[in-house]
Structures are given as structure tokens and as C-alpha cells.
Amino acid sequence: AQKVTQAQTEISVVEKEDVTLDCVYETRDTTYYLFWYKQPPSGELVFLIRRNSFDEQNEISGRYSWNFQKSTSSFNFTITASQVVDSAVYFCALSELYNTDKLIFGTGTRLQVFP
């Protein structure tokens, strides 16, 4: 069975601190996709990144970076120099390679960034 675990329920940081959100997944598939989504207070989920299981390269996008380690089944997300606007709930998700509309979500991590 597929499962995504986000052990951190809530994280509070002060602006400009770096913060890492953890994600551990379980799947029997050898090929799959991993995602991160952000949910601001307005409710809609905003796509941040998609990574397929073939590609273990880390990725950096501005202040965001992602560390994918297949050996530990982890896909962690780091925000560098956090800002108040980063405050949101962040979800990690998993899908089959050819079934990306059916996402298995983790329980989310609520990030609060204080000024």
C-alpha cells in the first residue's frame, strides 16, 4: 500500500530562518512521482514541485530546495530565509507513474513564520 508520512504537524520559525519539512513515503512501485503542494488560508492547493523516481537530483528554485533520497524513501523540502508569506500548510504527495491525478497525500505540516 502507498503511504506518505509527514511527522511534523506544525513548525514555527522566525522570519529569515531556514526550515526543513520532512516527508517519508512508502510504495511497492518501482516508478512513481512525488509532489509538494502548498495550501494557503484561501484553501486551494498550489503545486510546488514534481519529481519522478528516476531522478534523484536535488532541485533548487529560488529559496526552495528539495532533497530526494530513494535509499531512505524521503523527499524533504527546505525553505531558505523564510518569509511571512511562506506561512501555509505544506503537503507531500505520492502517485503512480501513470496515474498522477490520484494523489496520496501526507497529513501536512503547518508552517508559521513570524516577523
Which positions lie near another protein, rule CB under 8 A?
33, 35, 37, 42-47, 50, 52, 91, 97-108
Nearby residues of 82 by Cβ (< 8 Å), 6 or more positions away: 13, 15, 16, 17, 18, 19, 63, 111, 113
Task: Name which of 42, 40, 33 is nearest 4 in CA terms.
Answer: 33
How far, rounded to the nearest angstrom, does the alpha carbon of residue 56 sit from its chain's CA centroid?
15
Least distance in angstroms from the C-beta of 3 to another protein:
12
In terms of CB distance, is 35 or 66 closer to another protein? Answer: 35
Q: Give me the least distance between CB of 13 and another protein, in Å please.
A: 23
The residue (of 15 and 55) whose beta carbon lies closer to another protein is 55
Nearer to another protein, 44 or 57 (CB): 44
CB 92 within 8 A of CB 6: yes
Nearest CA to 93 out of 75, 67, 111 is that of: 75
**Least distance CB 6 / another protein (angstroms):** 10
Compare residues 16 and 50 and give the one whose CB is closer to another protein: 50
In angstroms, what is the minimal distance from the CB of 24 to another protein?
A: 15
